[in-house]
Amino acid sequence: MKKLYMIGNTHFDPVWLWKWDEAMASIRATFRSALDRMNEDDGFIYSFATPPVFEWIKNTCPDMFEEIKERVAQGRWDLCEAWWNQPDCYTPCGESFVRHSLYGQKYLKENFGKISDTVFNVDSFGHNPSIPQILKKSHIENYCFIRPEKHHVTLQGQYFCWAGIDGSKVYAYRAENAYLKTVEETATTQSDAEADALIIYGVTDHGGAPTKKLIAEINEREDAHFSTVSDFFKAQGKPKNSFSDELLTGDFGVYSNNPRIKRLNRIAENAVLNAEKASVIAGQNKKEIFEACWKDILFNQFHDILGGACIKEAYDDAERLFGRAITTAQETMHFCLQKVTSEIKTVGSNDKDIWNLVIWNLNSCDFDGYIEAEVQWVHEFPWYDKGIALRDEKGNLIECQVIRERSVIPAFRSRFVFNTEIPAFGYKCFAVVKTEQELDKTITSDAFSAETDRFVVDFSRENGYITCVFDKKSKKTRCTPFLRPICRYDNGDTWSFNVTEYDKNPCEFTFESAKVVEDGKLRKIIKFEYTFQKSRISLYYTFYKNKGYFDVRYVVNWNEKHYVLKLESAIENTAHTASVPYGHVTRHENSADMPVGEWLMADDTAYGFDGVFSYNLTGGVIGFTLLRSPIYGDLRIGEIDYNTDYDHISQGITEGNIRVDFDAKNDFDGFVNPPFVVVEANHDGTRKPSDSFIGISSDKVKISAVKHCEYDDGIILRLAETAGQSTTATINIFGAKTNVAMQPFEIKTLKYKNGVFTEEYMTEF
């Protein structure tokens, strides 16, 4: 007989159409009800394990928390969720998913004396293909989800073996028709009519434990029994079916909503990752501080928050939470970096130099690019408004282009841009040289053309769009349109449940003006302004000397409702590569938006993003989504009253940067996580003017995280193979070396302690 494994659960959104404080009150009542049901029925099992929610209970109702611990020990309360919460599975970086495992399993172990072998991630909007590997290396064997549903992704069966991008396999189950009112209704609507079924019953979203009525119905059925999620998977054995791809939902709105909160997430991730690296370099163990930062970030990665699916007021809280993590991490990072810089023997000398720059690169690969810096003159020193150069430890002079300072007091400070190389996980010191050369601040160049040693770019004088990009190296002319601003009507609800694509008819912008903002020996910046109805977009194109890329900064003041804004480019080959957490995938045309990480490659051109998180590709045109403006929290259950003053997403300022790299490099670490500048006075010290503390020999492998171990004084290094190729790399940390073999897309965790390297689980136990 087919068995129904009944999973009593509350799908609980700690933030959604309400704020977290309301949710906290609701879940207290929910847990009280679940515990009462256990007292009433000896067979009833309740499945729930979200650590931040447990913390709410621990701090408000400690007696209830102790009661929960007792039920966990008895096997009546199922710890079915090994992650910190149910996150958005595309917007975060790969390391965030490792931290969901690390801190989720750590919490369960410390508070309940056991960990979970299951991730119960039922409501997230798609699942990236690196998840199976992260699960396997976190003591997790099983994965349960609901989205994407069968009308979006066809599976051979609900129960299957999911193979990740590296080949790692976990057992997965797509639950269907969860949280219905009766067991009968759910049991008779399963796709696998003859197979055992995992049936999720209870109350969803705001809280509410499984009802007495449902529990009674289960007790009356011979084919139904109370179960844990883990017991269901154990009973099924090895699946007959398999699936080896990403699991994308067609409800694409969440991939594009609220780029501001998505961008803050990326800033926060980089802030704490940088701080962890800096603390290891400085020998300052701050892991308790960083754990708190990560817990703030992981909470905000809840799928409805990062998916832009919450009410407007919830994002005030989310921004403050990100702000706490960012500020704490950046403060700690600068404490650590300046501890080191204070010990450097600087390049400058008091008799001829005033300032030094110590440039820090906390990425895994060497930095080679442009950096901006600014130094102070008045009132410590005389006013100065002339040329600047840098001098390195060998006496080499580095050319600088003086640019407008952040303030509007000329000669009070000097700001300048320069090109240099900085070693990975290290720093380089330069003396700031006053050349005394007069500055020519007049700009006479054409705003509709730009030429470097690599490119010739022409813009239309009629509409301001790029008409031609000629690459002198490849002798190729790129297709047009090229990053043309376009908006389309978007009748979708918040999730795009009610549509399959945006309107096909593009709405053109009105070209307003073009202006050369900056033109010097090292770079040229041209600003183009466009308007659409009540909105304005400014595009700043930056062209560099001796670089195979140029940058586009966009600043949007958006005041439209039910529109999507994109930058569109024509491409010849629709097969393209998009980055995903800890990997990349090949995709083809799709008129619906798809998620993207920090880069995308099409037609031998790589695009890097710090604020774009989705795109679509249809009719040979790729559209990078800058924003969309549906109504907050619109499930579109009823008709929209267009006379009502609803809150719409992404009103006001949205900004970000895109790098267009014609050398087709997919390494954008230095773009999204640029070096840090520390301005130092002249001083003696025991450290060299340039140094690198950690390194790796292969450009196919990145060291994505360096941190202190959670359980001892070892150092954890996270390695990720990024090219999809087998390779061997030599790791160097503080002079100690080891060789590591890496398989395609493998993520490996090493611990370095007392001169010895060992491979560890991602949980560090």
Residue 700 lies in a domain: yes
Distance CA 193, CA 283 (A): 59
- For 380, residues 6+ apart whose C-beta sits below 8 A from its C-beta are none
Distance CA 614, CA 612 (A): 6
Residues 617 and 699 in one domain: no
Q: What is the token pair recorded at 38?
A: 């256990």
First to last CA, the chain: 40
111: domain CATH number is 3.20.110.10
Distance CA 386, CA 440 (A): 9
Distance CA 558, CA 565 (A): 9
The model's confidence at residue 535, banded by pLDDT at 50, 70 and 90, is: very high
Residue 349 lies in a domain: no
480: domain CATH number is 2.70.98.30
Beta-strand ranges (E) seen in 175-270 are: 197-205, 224-226, 242-243
- Residues forming beta bridges with residue 302, ordered by sequence position: 87
What pLDDT does residue 303 have? 98
Count of structural domains, the chain: 3
Residue 191 lies in a domain: yes
Mean pLDDT over 425-437 rounds to: 98
pLDDT at 256 > cutoff 70: yes
> Taking the model in full, what pTM does it have?
0.97
Residues 610 and 483 in one domain: yes
Q: What angle do CA 371, 377, 381 make, to 5 degrees?
A: 145
Residue 444 lies in a domain: no
DSSP per-residue codes, 100-133: HHHHHHHHHHHHHS---SEEE--S-S-B-TTHHH
Q: Which of 216, 249, 282 is the last residue of a domain?
A: 249
Q: Which of 580, 592, 620, 684 is nearest to 128 (CA)?
A: 580
Mean pLDDT over 630-649 rounds to: 91
Q: Which of 215, 249, 283 is the last residue of a domain?
A: 249
The backbone torsions φ and ψ at residue 4, rounded to the nearest 5 degrees and listed phi first, read: -105, 110
726: domain CATH number is 2.60.40
Residues 697 and 656 in one domain: no
Residue 270 lies in a domain: no
Residue for token pair 């240099």: 420
What pLDDT does residue 692 have? 99
Residue 189 lies in a domain: yes
Residues 644 and 732 in one domain: no
Q: Which of 197, 214, 249 is the last residue of a domain?
A: 249
DSSP per-residue codes, 432-459: EEE--PPP-----S-TTEEE-SSEEEEE
Q: Which domain holds residue 489?
A: 455-661
Mean pLDDT over 532-560 rounds to: 98
Residues 643 and 724 in one domain: no
Distances (CA, A) of 390 to 393, 419, 529: 10, 10, 35
Mean pLDDT over 681-697 rounds to: 98
Residues 755 and 649 in one domain: no
What pLDDT does residue 141 have? 98
What pLDDT does residue 1 have? 63
Residue 682 lies in a domain: no
Residues 235 and 102 in one domain: yes
Cα atoms in the Cβ-side hemisphere of radius 13 Å centred on 647: 13
C-alpha torsion angle, residues 690, 695, 697, 699 (rounded to 10):
-90
Residue 259 lies in a domain: no
Mean pLDDT over 137-164 rounds to: 98
Distance CA 562, CA 630 (A): 5
Cβ proximity of 52 and 295 under 8 Å? yes
Per-residue b or e along 177-214, where b marks 16 or more CB atoms closer than 10 Å to that residue's CB: bbbbeebeebbeebebeeebbbbbbbbbbbbbbbbeeb
Mean pLDDT over 17-27 rounds to: 97
Residues 712 and 641 in one domain: no
Q: How many other CB atoms are there within 10 angstroms of residue 469's CB atom?
A: 22
Cβ proximity of 78 and 42 under 8 Å? no
pLDDT, averaged across the chain: 97
Residues 512 and 650 in one domain: yes
Q: Which of 277, 376, 391 is nearest to 689 (CA)?
A: 391
Q: What is the pLDDT of residues 439-485, one digit of tens each?
A: 988 888 999 999 999 999 999 999 999 999 999 999 999 878 899 99
- Sign of CA pseudo-dihedral 579, 584, 586, 591: negative
Residues 720 and 585 in one domain: no
Residues 224 and 87 in one domain: yes
Q: What is the pLDDT of residues 267-301, one digit of tens each?
A: 999 999 999 999 999 999 999 999 999 999 999 99
33: left (phi over 0), alpha (psi -120 to 50) or beta: alpha
Q: What percent of the chain has pLDDT over 70?
A: 100
Cβ proximity of 725 and 714 under 8 Å? no
Residues 121 and 176 in one domain: yes
